[in-house]
Amino acid sequence: MSLWIILAITAQAISALTVFIDKYVLVSDGGIKSPAAFAFYSAVLSGLVVILIPFGLVSIPGYEVLFFSTVSALAYIASLLFLYRTLQEMTVTDVLPLTASAGAITVGSLATFFLAQDLPNSFIPAFLLLVTGTFLIYCFCFSRKLFAMTIAAGVLLGTSSFAAKLVFDAADTFFNGLFWLLIMNVVVAVVILAPARFKAIKESLQGSSTGAKGFALLSKTLGGVAFFLTAVAISLGSVSVVNALGGLQLVFLLIFVPLFVHRLPDVFKYELTPQTLILKILGTLSIVAGLAILFIF
């Protein structure tokens, strides 16, 4: 098994865990209730990447790196706004599969058109099974508005990942590309998001409990690790495969759900119900079959 696939799978496991923490932060008593505030908090923490500067790993970017880093940041922060809003209204096991499917389709389509041979024919059956599996888990049990927002979150996240691939292709080194991807998250959050949602961001951060802020920090720390592993995987391999592996988050979700349901029943009690369990199992089997084909070929 290729190293970049192992890194991508590890990143999906960590990402699945962070979404549970995000859900708790967004809906618990004393939590950060504003999606804009949480997105701002998440983006600003990307600024920790400045630790690369003293090591001489950062240089002035070319126009391509700067442009695609900005596109990636805009799409990423917009995706967080939609994702956090839907997490407040829907279960994690409904949101994640649908966003993963939308993201995989988006990246696969963009890569097919713009990156030669990024989506080999041998991958198509596995890709379709992964996407089909994540769609099976969606039970058509929420409003069209929430459906559209969930799809938008996935499409924007896929667009951000594709732009990140272009950044790594254009950057002179991996770490220089990583730096500009993350620092542009901070720039977009401060220049665009903060002025537009200043009052909501201020009130939400001031009104949230210390515990919620601590969990948010934990989530973003784990998210940073997942982002780094994903970035390495994207730089080394196929961005389409990396994003299609987002379906693996469902497998990890079904492992994490029993742990969280019993410890935080008020937040996660609707994650698995008899009405949706069958579809989610079928979706999981479809994802496993897709991964088996991917690894065989």
Task: Check residue 271 and give its pLDDT.
Answer: 67
Task: Check residue 295 and give its pLDDT.
Answer: 54
Task: Check residue 1 and give its pLDDT.
Answer: 63
> What is the number of domains present in the chain?
1
Task: Check residue 269 and give its pLDDT.
Answer: 66
Task: Check residue 239 and give its pLDDT.
Answer: 75
Residue 35 near residue 152, CB atoms below 8 Å: no
The whole-angstrom distance between residue 85's C-alpha and the CA centroid of its chain comes to 14
pLDDT in tens, the chain (297 residues): 688 889 988 998 999 889 889 988 998 888 898 999 999 989 999 999 999 999 999 999 999 999 999 999 999 999 999 999 999 988 887 788 788 778 877 887 787 777 665 555 656 787 788 778 777 766 666 677 888 999 999 999 999 999 998 999 999 999 999 999 999 999 999 999 999 888 888 888 788 888 888 999 999 899 989 989 999 998 888 777 787 677 677 778 777 777 777 777 666 766 667 767 777 778 777 877 776 676 555
The residue range of the domain holding 38 is 3-296
Token pair of 23 as six digits: 């859900």
